[in-house]
A and B are shown apart, each in its own frame.
Chain A
Amino acid sequence: MTDIQAIARQLAEAIKGYSADYIEARLEESQRSHLTYRGRELESVGQVTAIGGNVRALVRGGWGFVSFNNLNDLPGRIELAVKQARLVGKEESKLAPVEPIVDIVSPEENNPLTIPLAEKKQLLDEYNALIWRTPKLQTSIIAYGDSHKKVIFLNSSGSYTEQERSDITLRLTAVATADGDVQQVGLSLGSRGDFSLIQGLHQQVEQMARHAVELLSAPQVKGGEYSVVLDPVLAGVFAHEAFGHLSESDFIYENDRLRQIMVLGKKFGSPELNIVDSAAIPGLRGSYKYDDEGVPATKTYLIRKGKLVGRLHSRETAAKMGEKPTGNARAINYHYPPIVRMTNTYIEPGSASFDEIIGDIKEGVYAKNWVGGTTSMEMFTFSAGEAYMIRHGKLAEALRPVVLTGNVFITLNNIDAIGNDLEMNQGGGCGKGMQSPLPVSNGSPHIRISKCLVGGR
């Protein structure tokens, strides 16, 4: 393979020769493998290697960005980025100050690419066989992917960092059919490259397949407002979708009206509500030591005791809002410039047990497991893979998957119970500005929302 360290040294030297307010470069080499099953058979298996880089320049507040995987003519790339930035720039460049950092971060413990394909296939074969053993099952889809990459970052202030990242994702889907009706249940898993975390899940896989068949005879919920209890997986997605995106300062910093809505100190929920984003927790899919602008990761409280206390920043948004950088500028790969992103986002645990949470609900919905979620900042929707009615404080019949929706500002205030059972979910990926899926994790204990709109028949 090409020696990207040598190229990085050339780049570090070359950027000194250009005049801009700021220049940075990233170089990346990566290996990926994937195995996908559709039906009984392994359908596709492949290995991909990639190498590439980018240069980003800032001149008078304007940005230029050049990405490439042809590594010839590096000076030409730098020159183009500076020229573009100059074409845009009409004001003053603002970047929150960060001490230059030189650090070669020690290699990742786990590299899933070193595990033989045969071993990966063996595990997936076992899971697929379990799904197919379920009566009335129509088909299965299994998508396994892993990656390992090395990223070198350097900038015109003298920072130079090397970091590695490993990632594993596994999504299993069971599809059941009867009389033209099709139902599916999925399971999304992931880890920071640790293959053992996706092993030994046979029981969960079996349950998933059985549930798909059960859904064929399950009723659909009647649409309307309910007390809704979310399991840790779905509540984590809720924290990410409904609130997390609103905390990304690139939405806010140049929008005066949003700044008024998101003013620090404003009440968003009950005093029991705390929401955190932290890339600094080691070993999760959203974890890192430095972000893609070379800023050290931090733990950021977004909501503390029900009040807005912080938000996520790049160096530019921090400077423009007069706040401290949080190390949340991330790019999915070298094709893209970094933008403000979440990392590991979670609701801190409260004190209620599950029985206490559902105990006084006369008629409500228990929604579990993640299918998807999206937000317009004001409104969110997210969909649960599993759902049950709650009747007189007890779990009752299974429902077909439900879609929940609401207004963020109202719904956060409607969280009236927070469980004591925080769990992190590593199966998600986040999309924003055409950069998807970015590895993140979400988490929460069980939570209850007193009035939530549920779509239905």
Chain B
Amino acid sequence: MENILTQAKRVAEEAEVFMVSSEETPVHFEANRLKHIQSKQSTSLALRIVRQGRIGYAATTELGDSQSLVDNAVETARFGMPARFELPSPVTYPQIDVFDPDTESISIEKMIDLGTELIAVVTNHTPEIICHAMVTKDVISLQIINSRGGQANYKKSIFSLGILGSLIRGTDMLFVGESQSSCHPLTQPKEIAQVVLKQLELAKNRASVPTRKLPVIFTPLGVANALVPSLMIGFNGKTVLEGASPIGNRLGQPVFDQKLWLWDDPTVAYCPNSRPCDDEGIPSQRTPLIEQGKVANFLYDLQTAALAHTRSTGNGSRNGGLPVPSPTALVIAPGKTTVDEMVKDIKEGLVIEQLMGAEQGNILGGDFSGNVLLGYKVENGKIVGRVKDTMVSGNVYQVLKEVTAIGSEAKWVGGFLHTPHIYCPRLSVASKE
């Protein structure tokens, strides 16, 4: 790495070398049986330079061939965007624990046992269900060095355990599932199985839904797939800079219900999306996004922040290219209402776990529209069964302007969102009779 930096400094004003290595071991179960064990090693090196004021970028997996890497970066810098940022000088990073040696050392045999147990609990409850499960451990090492002497490195472990079950009767298909991830090993498959068993119980009966506006409770998973994709774009500093975010000029203004609080938080210990610094070496911080319904901040990387005349929030992330602003872990603050109280409050309405295709519409504008893949009907304060052939549509910015209640218990979804249930008064529901 030092070598590449030295070579790059000869031809560029600024340079930064980013290296990430990963050793991942996924254990797959298919059709209720162990099917596949994998082991994936990968290392990649990325070089960002500023040459004659412009940004150049190249990446490779060939660690030995540093000259081609530098040449490629130089070639792209002819066309690159003018650099407006300064790479970080040496700083002290917060202590954020994201590595657990127990995850690295857990044996494949133990991982097989966990998956086997997870499937056994679910198939004991519903023998005709067909389950796929995955148990994965991943150890990631990350290193950044730059021409201003800045350097960062950390090691992270991620363990995840998940199951997806399908239950088919005639041509009727029911899909249930749950997955969790952590930097620690997850050794309680029963907890995950319980979530699935509850879904199976609630979905036992079928219920019909009218085509009209109805109150809807989004479960944490429902919040993740229907509401959050639009917010992730709306709070992205880049969307704001382009004038394409519906909330871009509403900083400090009440846009959402005042019960709503949202922040981005990469500092929670042992959370898979946590990290001491971002992919540009900027120290991690907790960034409030919605405070009491008011827009509090947007998320920035170095370049976008400089263009917007503000500071990076430590949200520069790389996805196989130059860093871009992106959320780490979003947290929605819990409210005061229990899920039971929400359900009791509804005469006729829906509980939505999964909206299929919700992220396909005009999510930039906040629209979502999807088929209820897993959801339940509420009648007179009780969940009466599963709904199907039902489309739910809305606009995040309208839906979250006035919410009836926010759940008192929050839950992690996929390591990137910690949220309670959200109860909305009226959403468009279209159903096939």
**Which residues of A does B touch, CB under 8 Å?**
1-2, 34-36, 38-39, 41-52, 62-70, 80-81, 84-85, 87-88, 90, 117-118, 121, 138-139, 175, 177, 180-184, 223-225, 254-255, 257-258, 261, 335, 337, 371-374, 376-383, 400-401, 403, 405-407, 409, 453-457
Contact = CB atoms under 8 A, between A and B. Distances in A.
B41 A69 contact: yes
Interface string B100-115: 0000000011001000
Contact of A379 (B55, B78, B81, B371): B371
A61 B385 CA distance: 40
Interface in B388-431: 388-389, 391-393, 428-431
Contact of A2 (B62, B80, B366): B62
A337 B40 CA distance: 11
Given A42-B79, A84-B38, A224-B211, A49 B365 contact: no
24 contacts: A38-B242, A44-B57, A45-B80, A47-B58, A47-B76, A48-B60, A49-B62, A62-B34, A63-B35, A64-B38, A65-B37, A68-B40, A87-B37, A182-B362, A184-B365, A223-B428, A254-B31, A255-B130, A373-B357, A373-B360, A379-B371, A381-B370, A455-B430, A456-B393
A149 B39 CA distance: 23
Given A67-B41, A69-B61, A382 B393 contact: no
B68 interface: yes
Nearest to A37: B81
B225 to A, nearest CB: 11
Q: Is the interface of A mostly helix, strand, loop or mixed?
A: strand
Interface stretch (B1-9, B146-154, B165-173, B329-337): B165-173
A181 B389 CA distance: 29
Contacts of B370: 381, 403, 405, 455
B360 A49 contact: no
Given A70-B41, A401-B362, A405-B391, A182 B246 contact: yes
Interface string B360-375: 1110111001110100
A403 B357 contact: yes
B113 to A, nearest CB: 12
B79 A382 contact: no
Contacts of A67: 38-42
Given A257-B130, A455-B430, 7 more contacts: A49-B68, A68-B41, A177-B243, A335-B40, A376-B356, A379-B373, A403-B369
Given A66-B39, A224-B430, A255-B168, A88 B34 contact: yes
B244 A46 contact: no
A338 B109 CA distance: 25
B322 interface: yes
A90 B170 CA distance: 31
Contacts of A373: 357, 360
B238 interface: yes
B133 interface: no
Contacts of B43: 69-70
A300 B130 CA distance: 28
Q: Which 7 A-B pairs have the closest CB atoms?
A: A381-B357, A223-B430, A254-B31, A372-B360, A46-B57, A84-B37, A182-B365
Interface string B33-56: 011111111111000000000011
B256 to A, nearest CB: 14
A80 B108 CA distance: 12
A348 B37 CA distance: 40
Contacts of A80: 39
B79 A45 contact: yes
B398 to A, nearest CB: 11
Contacts of B59: 46-49
A257 B393 CA distance: 32
A41 B81 contact: yes
Given A34-B321, A69-B42, A117 B76 contact: yes
B61 A377 contact: no
A90 B34 CA distance: 9
A371 B431 CA distance: 22
A378 B211 contact: no
A149 B80 CA distance: 25
B198 interface: no
B10 interface: no
A376 B371 CA distance: 10
Nearest to A407: B389
Contact of B244 (A182, A225, A378): A182
Given A70-B43, A372-B357, A403-B370, A184 B362 contact: yes
Contacts of B238: 38
Given A261-B168, A378-B172, A456-B393, A43 B81 contact: yes
A377 to B, nearest CB: 6
B65 A382 contact: no
B16 interface: no
B30 A177 contact: no
B356 A223 contact: no
A117 B72 CA distance: 11
Given A46-B321, A50-B61, A374-B357, A335 B81 contact: no
Given A139-B244, A457-B393, A261 B171 contact: yes
Contacts of B322: 44, 46
Contacts of B65: 1
A175 B364 contact: yes
A52 B31 contact: no
B368 to A, nearest CB: 9
A378 B171 contact: yes
Given A49-B68, A138-B244, A255-B168, A225 B432 contact: yes
Contacts of B42: 52, 67-69, 335
Nearest to B32: A254
Contacts of B320: 48
